[in-house]
Amino acid sequence: MRITSCENYQEMSILAADLVQEEVLKKPRLLFCAATGSSPAGLYEEMGKRLSLNPGMFDGMRIIKLDEWGGVPAYHPVTCEYFIRKRLLEPLSIPEERYHSFHSDPEDPELECRVIRSTLQEEGPIDLCILGLGKNGHLGLNEPDTQLEPYCHVAQLSELSLEHKMISSMEIKPSYGITLGMEEILAARKIIFLITGKGKKDVMQKLMEKEVHPELPASFLWEHPQVDCLMDLSSMD
């Protein structure tokens, strides 16, 4: 893992956009795995700015969603679907045929997972995966456990994840999560790992111990050969 310390969130977002641009220029049709939340929001804004300077930059890029809150009405403003459409698909003019997703309130969540697994077998592996660090060390919605799931699956959400600010104001909380599995994430050719936000100092210290174990899913990134970790020092408490 290559770690770059950034003075603030803006610098982190700009550096991340530089890395994305570099990869898109190498492979215009790359498969881009999109995380949601405040960590990558600045990156996506910067990508929109790059598009205005270089029209057509993302004309071939394909996007797949990393995870979703399960049991939340479709297109509710707190869903990852809503976030990705507003922050990525619309600003970058990504058509539906280049977007691979799963529903937030499917009749059969397990079927949604099987569809995504099949999609990755056909379209993958992921070329560039954007990840943020959860306060408990989760990646996507792969929560700390004694054993981690390799493929897209229905996930039981931890209490800490249910306190996420994307959903903290909701009266009815998600009843489960849907997320790409660890093997699918780690199969990505390159990963951009964004660390920002309050309340992550303790998990950061654990991560820096470089001990790889399922109780800290993010620790598995030490096993990946191409991880750029960008750390926003201004947010470290």
* Catalytic residue (choose from 46, 67, 112, 232): 67
Which pLDDT does position 166 carry in this prediction? 61
Annotated active-site residue 138? The verdict is yes
Name the 3-class secondary structure at 86.
Answer: helix
Q: How many CB atoms lie within 10 A of CB 52?
A: 9
CATH number of 2-235, picked from 1.10.10.10, 3.40.50.1370, 3.30.70.100, 3.40.50.1360: 3.40.50.1360
Q: Answer yes or no: are the C-beta atoms of 180 and 112 closer than 8 Å.
A: no
Name the 3-class secondary structure at 2.
Answer: strand
Which pLDDT does position 2 carry in this prediction? 97
Name the 3-class secondary structure at 16.
Answer: helix
Annotated active-site residue 136? The verdict is yes
Tokens of 39: 């960590």
User: Which residues of the chain, if any, have pLDDT below 50?
Assistant: none
Which pLDDT does position 235 carry in this prediction? 86
Annotated active-site residue 18? The verdict is no
Which pLDDT does position 170 carry in this prediction? 64
Strands 153-155, 176-179: pairing kind: antiparallel
Query: Domain ranges in the chain?
Result: 2-235
Q: Answer yes or no: are the C-beta atoms of 62 and 100 closer than 8 Å.
A: yes
Total-model pTM = 0.94
Distance spanning both ends of the chain, measured CA to CA: 22
Q: Answer yes or no: are the C-beta atoms of 75 and 184 closer than 8 Å.
A: no
Phi, psi of 221 (to 5 degrees): -65, -20
